[in-house]
Amino acid sequence: MANATLSDPIFHDEDAARAHFEKVRWPDGRTCPHCGVVEASTELKGKAHRKGLYKCNACDRQFTATIGTVYEDSKVPLNKWLLAMHLMCASKKGISALQLQRELALGSYRTAWFMAHRIREAMTDTDNTPLGGEGKVVEADETY
């Protein structure tokens, strides 16, 4: 998503967004989040199954690419999540939940607020190592 533009299909088409996210999430092949087996799953197709649903042949459990991510258990389409991530990362001064609601044409402010909080939580630094590495100097422009 580094060189993505707002006209990119991943921001407007849910199938393109899912294909892009699966490629990013599983660069070495589809991996079961339950048992960790790589490339031992089958895509479930049919009217009763949603798109992007897979069944692991090793542990017999179902999964999607969003399991274990901030997108899990969300009814918001994945293309809107990717657009929200892009807007939040590309915005120099940040973006409010109200602006996200307007830009993504979301039904409620509460949904936009929920998305913004999940994205910000995902952006937090989990390890406490200094920026740049131990004993390194980091130079930055336009910081406060």
Please give the C-alpha separations between residue 89 and each of 35, 92, 116, in angstroms, as whole numbers: 32, 8, 11
Q: Please give the model's pTM, rounded to 2 decimal places.
A: 0.79
Residue 128 clears pLDDT 60, i.e. is over it: yes
**Contacts of residue 116, Cβ cutoff 8 Å, sequence gap at least 6:** 84, 88, 95, 96, 97, 100
pLDDT single digits (tens) 96-113 = 999 999 999 998 999 999
Q: Where are the domains of the chain?
A: 11-63, 78-123
Residue 71 clears pLDDT 60, i.e. is over it: yes
